[in-house]
Structure 1
Amino acid sequence: MGFLKRILRTNASDATGKASGSFESLSDEELQVHMGIRTYDAFELTDAIRPSYDVQIKPRQGFRYDEYVDEASKTRTPVIMASATRGSLMELFLELIEPLGAVVDVALESSHHARGRDEDLYREHIDVPVLNSILWEFEDLLLNDGCTGIAVINPAKKQEVQLDEHKLLIAYGEPLDDFRQVLIQGDVYPDEKLKFITEAEHVHSSSEAYLNRFTMLKNRLGMDSETSLDAESWGV
């Protein structure tokens, strides 16, 4: 019955916020079978996310260049977006952090609570070896919780590396060469035609246990928030 405690959220919604995509018409059995499919060809997903029931976009490994445009200033920031198989995802994330320097800032993002109100938490000035030790301690949460995302930032360099709630690796800021080299050395290669499962209907998965682990991670990083994460306020 643990499956029934999972949070399921799709990016296809009607005006009320209720899911209106292919998942809406599935029986519990069909949904459980789909959520149990972890491997597509040679690519293995974490437990955090699954593609649409009809697999509109099949997950695969690779990266492509993009850019982030700030709506207010119209500033354009170059970006690398990457998808990596489960077995190498955590190590690649930590290797991507290395070019940021010895001391970094950390941001956590949580969407465990009520629909449409993400929580962002921030910690300044943490030594990378200390951070790495904490991240390894919470590897299961970071890889398998579809409501937890993390970013590591060097404000002076204007660079950032994310492992988002979709478990995509995202690196922002010039130069991108070091990030590209890390990915290629990890057998993640450029593919300008690459599509991510986030670009079609998809579903996230989480649990009350991961909510508790998120709170523990927040405390280990010395973060605090005025927003309370209430398990009873979760939406489906």
Structure 2
Amino acid sequence: MGFLKRILRPTTQDDAIPTSAPGSFERLSDEELQVHMGIKTYGMFELTDAIRPSYDVQISPRQGFRYDKYVDESNGSTTPVIMAAASKPILMDVFLDLIDQLGSVVDVVLETSHHSSSQHEDLYREHIDVPVLKSILMEFEDVLLNDGCTGIAIINTAKQQEVQLDEHKLLIAYGTPLDGFRQTLINSDVYPDDSIKFVTEAEHVHSSSERLYDKFQQFKTRLGVEDEHEPECGAW
């Protein structure tokens, strides 16, 4: 979720605010940019409002998942990972189903980059019952799906497993075993695809707005998250 962002052009308060690293987007006229941001579907895949691929669509979004690994640079240890893309109509349901694999009580990390040009801010909440959490997540589905500056991670430190819905609206599951996550994805018609590429692997643009930022503030309050540099639960 560390994609570098900056505002491309000033906008009115309620307009979507595209944010991106320097690239082809800066060469677009306002009209070309708005047309590109208005394209929601690529084949059978529907994007949320949070992100768009490069103007020349270097990677066309599609549904599926692949295996990967996370390497801890501090000690060289590796953690198996599933990365998945799900079309907007099923994205929230798949995310909630993946959370069920973590158990009945979890920790939450809410990530925001609304006011940062180079990094995101982590906000923590420990020990929340999953039914309570899922109710809050459904209440703020609009922010989770459509705000390109909001991401969330749900963690069970005892199991050393984690599920993310990141700023790019990719689903990422960490830990061992991954079998439950795999089956949840397949049950939702998100199938393994070793050749799949995600929009994060090429130039892309994020989008947010003042309306979504205001909703994010409400979301933060409902979750009861706190701004801490180091969560008590620690990293794993």
Per-residue CA shift, 1:200-225, capped at 9, x if unaligned?
00000000111111111111011133
| 8 Å contact kept, 1:6–1:205 | yes
Does 2:9 correspond to 1:7? no
Partner residue in 1 for 2:150: 148
Partner residue in 1 for 2:52: 50
Q: Aligned partners of 2:171 and 2:133: how far apart in 1?
A: 17
Partner residue in 2 for 1:26: 28
Number of equivalenced pairs: 219
Q: Aligned partners of 1:45 and 1:202: how far apart in 2?
A: 13
Per-residue CA shift, 1:34-89, capped at 9, x if unaligned?
00000000000000000000000000000000000000011100000000000000
Partner residue in 1 for 2:234: none
CA positional deviation for 1:27: 0.4
Q: Tell me, what secondary structure is at the counterpart of 2:183?
A: helix
TM-score (norm 1): 0.90
Does 2:108 correspond to 1:106? yes
Per-residue CA shift, 1:159-204, capped at 9, x if unaligned?
0000000000000000000000000000000001100011000000
Partner residue in 2 for 1:157: 159
Partner residue in 2 for 1:176: 178
| 8 Å contact kept, 2:164–2:173 | yes
| 8 Å contact kept, 1:106–1:152 | yes
- 1:83-232 to structure 2, matched below 5 A, reads 83-225=85-227
Q: Aligned partners of 1:48 and 1:115: how far apart in 2?
A: 17
Q: Which runs of 5+ in 1 are unaligned?
A: 12-18, 228-236
CA positional deviation for 1:226: 7.4
Residue identity in the other structure for 1:10? S
TM-score (norm 2): 0.90
| 8 Å contact kept, 1:3–1:32 | no
Cα distance change of structure 1 residues 124 and 31 upon mapping to structure 2, 3 Å threshold: same
Partner residue in 1 for 2:5: none
Partner residue in 2 for 1:14: none
Runs of 4+ off more than 6 Å: none
Q: Aligned partners of 1:226 and 1:6: how far apart in 2?
A: 29
Q: Aligned partners of 2:18 and 2:32: how far apart in 1?
A: 14
Residue identity in the other structure for 2:157? P
Q: Aligned partners of 1:116 and 1:209: how far apart in 2?
A: 22
Partner residue in 2 for 1:233: none
Residue identity in the other structure for 1:93? F
Percent identity over the alignment? 69
Q: Aligned partners of 2:14 and 2:212: how far apart in 1?
A: 14
Cα distance change of structure 1 residues 222 and 211 upon mapping to structure 2, 3 Å threshold: same
